[in-house]
A and B are shown apart, each in its own frame.
Chain A
Amino acid sequence: MSDPTPIGKLKRSHLLHYIDASFSDNTAADWTPSWYLIGKDIEDMSVELNPDTSIKKNILDETVVEDNGYEPSVAADTYYANTGDSIYSRIKDIAMNRKTGDDCKTTVMEVVIDTVEGLTTGASSAWIEDCIVKPQSYGGAQGGVNIPYNINFDGNRKEGTVTFTNKVPTFVASS
């Protein structure tokens, strides 16, 4: 098999974020995620890595950097409530019933499509990780009910690949 063809400069739509709208346990043997694509009506969204480092100086006047890792999160600042969305009922439930803890826990999947083959039926690199979904507010201006939410990454990160069949992603973890 020939090597994948690099795509060159990536468009923003080549970096995709999904969350599992079933909010089910991704360690279960029968885990069948219902991936919901984040991004509709959002013009700008970034994963904030929030690196936690501290710089200290010892008695020898040497500078030491202590790297405490990352605390990544992403803010979906626009989500217009739509009963046709697979994520709608859970977002509504969390927001209106003030759910906390495991009720807010699901899986986030990040996909980077950086090969020409990945644009069609080929595999693209992907990662899944536990996450906590937290609506930040609800209401908004005239035109629709906006429920912006944050996704806080919660560990158990796994690397793998994703393929699309009829626009539905399927994740396979690397062995």
Chain B
Amino acid sequence: MSLQLRRKTHESVIYIDRDSAPRIMPSGEDFILEDLPIGTRVLYPNPPLKGLPNREAAIRYALNHPHGCDPLFAQLEPGMQVTVAVDDISLPLPPMATPDIRQTVLEVVLDMLAGHGVDDVHILIANCLHRKMTEWEMKRMVGARIFDAYYPDRYYNHDAEWADGLVKLGETKHKEPLVLNRRAAESDLLIYVNINFVPMDGGHKSVAVGLCDYESLRAHHEPQTILDSDSYMDPPRSELNRKCTRLGKLVDEHLNVFHIETAINNRMYKGDMDFLLKNEDDFTAFDRMKFEAMRYTMNKLPRPARRKLLHSRPAQYEMTACHAGKTDPVHDKIVAKGFEQYAIPVSGQCDILITGIPDISPYNVYSILNPLLVQVMALGYHFNFYRNKPLLKKGGVLIVQHPCYDDFDHKFHPSYIEFFNRLLPETRDSFVLREKYEREFANNPSYVEMYRRGNAYHGAHPFFMWYWGENGRQHVGKVIAAGAENAHVPAMLGWERADNLTEAIAMARSYMGNSAEITMLHQPMIGVADME
């Protein structure tokens, strides 16, 4: 480890020394304490930005001072048809303490609509091929007052399989089709309410992806687009973002969209679990006590109960910015604000990257982090949290700390089970999977009905999860699953396994050499490595 690297470069970049405390790592529903090798670089999330003191006032200001168009009130006419689309439960993570930002925005917007004689208003959840939100989740997201007034006839989930509820807008010049929700497309005004959690969210992706159908989605949710994105968390270098922008232009040709985007800070926990966001060297005796108490309690509980307990802890995010108006200028400002929170300046790639996988992902809210989701969190999200170049060197080793249990949610992830057990033993090649099986799963009548009438992810969704890890899969030399409780799940994913982190590091060093540079992402890591 060179002195240059050992120097403290940023408050979120810590180096392990002789007297450093062990670090807390998530491992699924558990939290473990690990002594890391001396010289290991640990990246922490930046301290939370200060939230706006009056959320409602900030929203009103944004609506009255929009970017690139007239204020919202000036666009309203009595008798017009308006649809308000909102992000689904995949944002933010975990679901935030009530009132949700969407509730506050909706309260302001709906009052304004009512005040201007606009009565034909529908609230649409832009879930695309994600699972439909349950009644309880929908109520929690918008509050009882809005829920009681609008549910179920005027507040509902988008249905990407309801042919009569969709309309084709056209194609981009690159022949990417766009079929959108009919109600949204035929409204006089579409208002989109977004919460920007990671830089990939929001912008043209909100409408063009959130409200489209399977055929439109498969034009850009495919392995080559992911491979061409370096990374998809860095909008200017993301092919996915470029495709969404092209589709967004098509949306803007046909629809009048008023975009409301919000940025939040990264205060995931406070009070009893806030120590998870702190540097362990700075722990007070009380922090250590809280951690031990949590670990003791969790150890006494069976896994489903631990999961339930973790999922019952709402996030404490605060809104840091709100902008409204035309999609592009609004999104630019929100992304800039997001990077203000998330960007961690990092110099030098590492040979071994360690990341614990917590029981948090956009796709397992109130559910199980199944093996495919562990894969997407490791090789998709955690690997792609960089700007300019990957944190891990090409051919380096990624160590994933997770039990890798073979457990799936039959209600939410039915097609994942077949994908994992039937397809992965045959091939892990994303291109082959897409060509040979994606349409079969997408059109499987059972999966279609479970998506439409139940709360299942669409039949094609596990494929997108696999493609999402394509960048990482092509970049890393090896993935080691530390703490995996079985051999077959890591083997099916193409990974090696180790009993614990120490063994995993030894295995990684035998591959990368004893002087290998090690970096650990301290979870929960909502941050982007801003590489020099």
Is B one of A's binding partners? no
By a beta-carbon cutoff of 8 Å, the part of chain B in contact with chain A is: none
By a beta-carbon cutoff of 8 Å, the part of chain A in contact with chain B is: none
